[in-house]
Structure 1
Amino acid sequence: MEIIFSKKLSETDVSHRLAIPSEKLDKIAPLSLGDKVSVAVIDDTEHQWSFLLSTRNEGKYLKPVISGNEWDRFVSERHLRKDDNITFYRETIENNEVRFRIRIELTGVPFFLFGAPMRPAA
């Protein structure tokens, strides 16, 4: 498995869209300014998500982001917040098929109360 990028999540990453480092875009999908593509991503619970990868139409530089309903649902269901860490991977499986994985690392020491993840008060 190849690490494409790791990052600490910003407030915008968890409330609107996940910013992808521009130089890593081609390792996911070769997009042009304004393009969109659905990317299947498997999380660390083996659940598959269909994230919308696009480049924002602002300025002359590609600004790749993951956004949309699936990203919002992922953030909500995985209880992500600012300063949590994610790592995005690319792996090649049989028949040279490429698939993507995402791993999250919650900040603090999460614990569970009645099956729901909880975090200590900040």
Structure 2
Amino acid sequence: MNILVVDDSRTMRDLVSRELRNGGYEVETAEDGIDALGKIKGFSPAVIITDLNMPRMNGLELTQALRAQAETKFVPIIFLTTESGDELRRAAREAGATGWIVKPFDGPKLLAAVRRVSS
């Protein structure tokens, strides 16, 4: 199963990717929403994991753009962010997010969340 990881931190992209690959997933990475939108067509992710705060296009804007496209309208989107406020969670849900994980993340919990939204 393909998973797209979107985060402006190379370290975070590497950590999340390693955890997912160890869990048996194919992973592509993007550094922000603009980069992610460019990579989706060739990769066809089954799940997207995105940070909230990124330059050029943040996670909320990315989620709204993905929900507006037929090919990504129903792809599960999990936010992986340092933010934990209820307002931001609500905004993410309204934009179309499927789940929310607060950094620092726990590997087994991340894999469990991916399994939960993709089944």
TM-score range, shorter chain: under 0.3
Q: If each structure's helix is expressed as a fraction of its own residues, which one has the higher value?
A: 2
Greater fraction of residues in strand: 1
Point out the structure with max Rg over C-alpha. 1
Higher relative contact order (CA 8 A, sep 6+): 1
Q: TM-score, normalised by structure 1?
A: 0.24
